[in-house]
Structure 1
Amino acid sequence: MSDINLQPIEKPQGVRDRVTRALRAAIISGEMAPGEIYSAPSLGARLGVSPTPVREAMLDLAKEGLVERLLNRGFRVTEVDDHYLDEITELRQLIEPPVVRDVVQLIPAEDIPGLRAAAEKIVQRAVEHDLYGYTETDKDFHLALLRYAGNGRIVKLIEELRAQTRLVGLASLAERGELAGSAAQHIAIVDAIEARDSDLVYRLMVDHISQTRSTWAGNPSGQ
């Protein structure tokens, strides 16, 4: 098994949910490699939990299409091709930028400091090379913006689309010290929101999602 930077899970409350989130983030970030087979006992040892919650979490992730169960062998991370990732990008571009643009004027001024703190937390996780923390805080930030539209279906759809991605270039981006620069895009988005510049927010969101697609391909520079 390749080296995976999984942190021990605190017990006992909500172990299964935390294991699921940790494994999902490891898959999305590319730390758990597509096509590789992982066993519940070995992953449990890394997380500091028994194999049972890991097995349960993996079954949940199998329902999401992130892994497939191999009888008596473990679980294999499913592979996705460029066309699949392009489709996810297209959907996100159609939904997120216009929705966030339209809620800019609706976001209360008193919420801005919280959004800024969330954006800065993403940068901090990037500086720390905490890929699990980065993917989780990044997800929370984007979904928080979408919630201002008051449409729960949009939030759920984007959450599901994000869960189906693979950020295979994320680890290398962190190793080169470039992840923090990418993370800083979130602060720029908050700056534009605070300035009530809806058009700029739209353009920043489009650029951010496009750059994220390059990261999915393992080519952060987009070249």
Structure 2
Amino acid sequence: MEQAGPRVRQAAGPSAPEAAAVRSASAYRVPAQPQVADVDRERGIAADGGPAAVRGDTGPVADAARGEHTHSETPFPLPRAQGRPVVQRASVRGQILDALRAALAGGDLTPGEVYSAPALGERFGVSATPVREAMQQLAVEGAVEVVPNRGFRVVRRGARELAELAEVRALLQVPVIMRLAHTLPADRWAELRPLAEGTARAASSGCRAAYGEADRAFHRGVLGLAGNQQLLQIADDLHRRTQLPLTVGHVGGAGGGRTELMADAAEHLALLDALVAQDLEAACCLVETHFGAAG
């Protein structure tokens, strides 16, 4: 008599609602997620065939248990670049993280508002899993905070918090830059001119998200001359906290207008000119002014 062995569950394809959602999200084309387990989780099926929520996994059942609703949220426009979807790289999570950062920098995700992973997933045309993972990374960076049973709230940064962040950045970076100013030859500083010019181009475009990336690249280039990777990591985290989410009227938070952004970028070029000329007094004044403005 043939003994009944464990039932082998066939790999399931996307459900009809998922397929319809992907087809309707014409603004984004995210590479398919090939893992069968991911598909099963979105269908509420755990690896052992039981409900995903019982195993603490994700899926519609678990989302409902956490209260991650997909309604009553203010929609935001999906960013596009040159008429093409922003999301194009192989890593879905990485693409969504970049898109969410751009939305934060551009003000499309509103401070104080709560957004659920399933709702954002529908807008991006992907499952809730990579959105949730990207939001958790943003929570680590301090841009959002987890709201149990609801989703993620975009943080509000007050004037005092921004001033404190600017002070910490100055305490960390000004001594390093001035030490380098006394030791590095002019040609090493001249190598950073393309990065400074990149901030000027980004500022002239008026795109706050683009300026934020260029600004961070310039400061990473300067601090990179110290050869301290821990310094780079800490400084970059502090810099990102001052930029995300968008804070209206704050240049360091990429919230200033085009004029303010161009003035901030001009300080980069002026600082490099002083460092190349070995004018330490001017360099000291410029770097203190720059960080005093939280640039």
| Pairwise TM-score range, normalised by the shorter structure | 0.7 to 0.9
Q: CA separation of 1:193/1:16 partners in 2, compared to 1, >3 Å: closer, same or farther?
A: farther
Aligned partner of 1:207 in structure 2 is 289
Aligned partner of 1:97 in structure 2 is 174
Aligned partner of 2:222 in structure 1 is 145
Aligned partner of 2:88 in structure 1 is 11
The answer to whether the 8 Å contact 2:208/2:255 transfers is no
The answer to whether the 8 Å contact 2:166/2:292 transfers is yes
Aligned partner of 1:198 in structure 2 is 280
Secondary structure of 1:165's aligned partner: helix
The answer to whether the 8 Å contact 1:189/1:201 transfers is yes
Greater Cα radius of gyration, structure 1 or 2: 2
Aligned partner of 1:136 in structure 2 is 213
The answer to whether the 8 Å contact 2:120/2:131 transfers is yes
Tell me how far apart the structure 2 counterparts of residues 21 and 105 of structure 1 sit (CA, whole Å).
37
Q: CA separation of 1:42/1:92 partners in 2, compared to 1, >3 Å: closer, same or farther?
A: same
Cα displacement (A) at 1:16: 2.1
User: Which blocks of at least 5 consecutive residues in structure 2 are unaligned?
Assistant: 1-73
The answer to whether the 8 Å contact 2:211/2:261 transfers is no
Give yes or no for the alignment of 1:64 onto 2:124: no
Give yes or no for the alignment of 1:159 onto 2:242: no
Aligned partner of 1:186 in structure 2 is 268
Cα displacement (A) at 1:27: 3.2
Q: CA separation of 1:161/1:29 partners in 2, compared to 1, >3 Å: closer, same or farther?
A: farther
Q: CA separation of 1:13/1:104 partners in 2, compared to 1, >3 Å: closer, same or farther?
A: farther
Secondary structure of 1:212's aligned partner: coil
Give yes or no for the alignment of 1:54 onto 2:136: no
Corresponding letter in the other structure for 2:288: V
Aligned partner of 1:217 in structure 2 is none
Corresponding letter in the other structure for 1:86: A
Cα displacement (A) at 1:51: 4.1
The answer to whether the 8 Å contact 1:37/1:76 transfers is yes
Q: CA separation of 1:10/1:3 partners in 2, compared to 1, >3 Å: closer, same or farther?
A: closer
The answer to whether the 8 Å contact 1:67/1:77 transfers is yes
Aligned partner of 1:218 in structure 2 is none
Greater fraction of residues in helix: 1
Give yes or no for the alignment of 1:24 onto 2:101: yes
Secondary structure of 1:182's aligned partner: helix
Aligned partner of 1:34 in structure 2 is 111
Tell me how far apart the structure 2 counterparts of residues 187 and 148 of structure 1 sit (CA, whole Å).
17
The answer to whether the 8 Å contact 2:186/2:275 transfers is no
Give yes or no for the alignment of 1:75 onto 2:141: no
The answer to whether the 8 Å contact 1:185/1:208 transfers is yes
Q: CA separation of 1:181/1:82 partners in 2, compared to 1, >3 Å: closer, same or farther?
A: closer
Aligned partner of 2:256 in structure 1 is 173
Aligned partner of 1:124 in structure 2 is 201
CA distances 1:16-37 after superposition (whole Å, capped 9, x unpaired) = 2343244335435655332112
Secondary structure of 1:75's aligned partner: strand
CA RMSD of aligned residues (A): 2.9
Aligned partner of 2:52 in structure 1 is none
The answer to whether the 8 Å contact 1:112/1:194 transfers is yes
TM-score, normalised by the number of residues in structure 2: 0.61
Report % sequence identity.
Answer: 39
Secondary structure of 2:146's aligned partner: strand
Question: How many residue pairs align between the two structures?
Answer: 212
Higher RCO (CA-CA < 8 Å; seq separation 6+): 1
Q: CA separation of 1:172/1:134 partners in 2, compared to 1, >3 Å: closer, same or farther?
A: closer
Tell me how far apart the structure 2 counterparts of residues 74 and 22 of structure 1 sit (CA, whole Å).
18
Secondary structure of 2:242's aligned partner: coil
Secondary structure of 1:125's aligned partner: helix
